[in-house]
């Protein structure tokens, strides 16, 4: 019902506020449809025409990632522009010549949009990719030729000009799967941001021929979301808002344990499924056990998580000489250590207060023997 109302509202003029409200209300329905049915772009344009407006692409990206799209993209590009120019101008060979030809107009004090355009084009070439796969430029008189060529384009930005590259474009737009999805954009940099945003909104993979370019676009966003964006894939259940296709150890520390063996190919009702998770572990310790070999004490989990012969240097020989005859109160600590040669013998319980000295003396003798064995181990090493 809300979608039908939205279709009517899109046809009205100056109706942006209502469209924004309806798009926000139908977000869950739209994401479920896109993720589960994976409709073609033409179908999405018919069912959700508002999603292909610049303002709504920005809004949809914000709903999915909680990060503003175009402002962050342009700010990141401007912030890195001086450093990028410095690096790219030093490139040698034929690639360096192409880059320097593109960057020449920047020395003439051009406006910001032309400067951004030159940097983006040079960046694509610097990354070893063909800029014509991303930006397709035509003269206005070549419009029919452009339309025929763009029908075969997977994902591209098209630019129509009257004359040279320094003149303002007549039109800038986007094509996805041969379908024009957006036009009348104010700059090529803005078009790059919109195209990047649509890969999230429409659930698209990066074009193979522009893989490094799109991965570099991620650097315009916060570092803490870098790994999220690089492996982000929306083909997971809607209720899992931030699914990751492939995890590694480069996660935020606070999410490290759930993500280490995270695999979403389990039933939805298992909210935190783990590839190697053993359900016989206590629920309250499941994050600890998922990556641990044994049930270590919580206070030592960071040490034991990847425990091997790389023990703390000052304790290495002590740990290597442990065996399984440990005091009960240290059983969980010691049973994860390597086999060794020292036996910590429990002392007798003495009820006679007069024999306390003997008990203390016995403990001291055991400790002295342990030190001798440890000292011999150190000397042998």
List all residues 6 or more positions away from 89 whose beta carbon is below 8 Å from its beta carbon.
99, 100, 103
> Which comes out higher in pLDDT, residue 154 or 243?
154
CB-facing half-sphere around the CA of 31: CA atoms within 13 A: 22
Q: How far is CA 287 from the centre of its chain?
A: 21
The mean predicted confidence, pLDDT, of the chain is 72
Tell me how many degrees the CA angle 175-180-182 measures, rounded to the nearest 5: 90
Q: Is the pLDDT of residue 41 over 50?
A: yes
> Which comes out higher in pLDDT, residue 342 or 160?
160
pTM of the complete model: 0.58
Q: What is the pLDDT of residue 368?
A: 46
Q: What is the pLDDT of residue 109?
A: 74
Q: What are the pLDDT digits (tens) for 290-334?
A: 554 444 455 565 555 544 444 455 565 565 555 445 566 676 666
Q: Is the pLDDT of residue 359 over 50?
A: no
Return the percentage of the chain with pLDDT > 90, whole number: 40
d(CA 221, CA 189): 15
Are residues 350 and 358 in contact, defined by beta-carbon separation less than 8 angstroms?
Answer: yes
Task: Tell me what the mean pLDDT of segment 221-248 comes to.
Answer: 37
Q: Is the pLDDT of residue 358 over 50?
A: no
d(CA 174, CA 110): 24
Q: Is the pLDDT of residue 55 over 80?
A: yes
Are residues 210 and 125 in contact, defined by beta-carbon separation less than 8 angstroms?
Answer: no
Are residues 138 and 103 in contact, defined by beta-carbon separation less than 8 angstroms?
Answer: no
> Which comes out higher in pLDDT, residue 249 or 35?
35
Q: Is the pLDDT of residue 95 over 50?
A: yes
Return the percentage of the chain with pLDDT > 70, whole number: 56
Q: What is the pLDDT of residue 12?
A: 79
Q: What is the pLDDT of residue 248?
A: 33
Q: The sheet that has 155-161: what strands, in order across it?
A: 135-139, 155-161, 171-176, 179-182
């Amino acid at each position: 019902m809300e979608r039908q109302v939205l279709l009517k509202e899109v046809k009205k003029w100056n109706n942006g506020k209502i469209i924004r409200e309806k798009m926000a209300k139908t977000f869950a329905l739209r994401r479920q449809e896109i993720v589960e049915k994976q409709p073609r772009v033409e179908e999405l344009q018919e069912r959700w025409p508002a999603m292909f407006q610049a303002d709504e692409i920005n809004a949809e990206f914000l709903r999915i990632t909680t990060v503003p799209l175009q402002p962050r993209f342009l700010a990141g590009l401007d912030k890195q522009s001086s450093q990028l120019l410095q690096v790219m101008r030093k490139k040698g060979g034929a690639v360096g010549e192409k880059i320097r030809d593109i960057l020449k107009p920047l020395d003439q004090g051009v406006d910001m949009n032309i400067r951004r355009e030159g940097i983006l084009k040079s960046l694509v070439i610097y990354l070893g990719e063909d800029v014509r796969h991303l930006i397709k430029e035509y003269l206005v008189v070549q419009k029919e030729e452009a339309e025929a060529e763009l029908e075969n384009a997977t994902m591209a930005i098209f630019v129509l000009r009257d004359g040279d590259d320094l003149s303002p474009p007549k039109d800038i737009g986007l094509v996805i799967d041969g379908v024009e999805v957006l036009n009348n954009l104010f700059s090529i940099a803005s078009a790059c941001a919109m195209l990047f945003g649509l890969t999230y909104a429409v659930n698209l993979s990066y074009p193979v021929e522009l893989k490094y370019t799109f991965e570099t676009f991620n650097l315009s966003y916060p570092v803490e979301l870098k790994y999220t964006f690089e492996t982000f894939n929306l083909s997971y259940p809607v209720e899992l808002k931030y699914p990751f296709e492939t995890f590694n150890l480069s996660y935020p520390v606070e999410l490290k344990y759930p993500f280490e063996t995270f695999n979403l190919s389990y039933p939805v009702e298992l909210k935190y499924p783990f590839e190697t998770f053993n359900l016989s572990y206590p629920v309250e310790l499941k994050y600890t056990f998922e990556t641990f070999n044994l049930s270590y004490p919580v206070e030592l989990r960071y040490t034991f998580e990847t425990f091997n012969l790389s023990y703390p240097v000052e304790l290495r020989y002590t740990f290597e000489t442990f065996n399984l005859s440990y005091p009960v109160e240290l059983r969980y600590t010691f049973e994860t250590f390597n086999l060794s040669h020292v036996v910590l013998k429990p002392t007798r319980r003495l009820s006679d207060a007069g024999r306390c000295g003997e008990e203390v003396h016995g403990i001291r003798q055991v400790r002295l023997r342990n030190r001798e064995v440890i000292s011999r181990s150190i000397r042998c090493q």
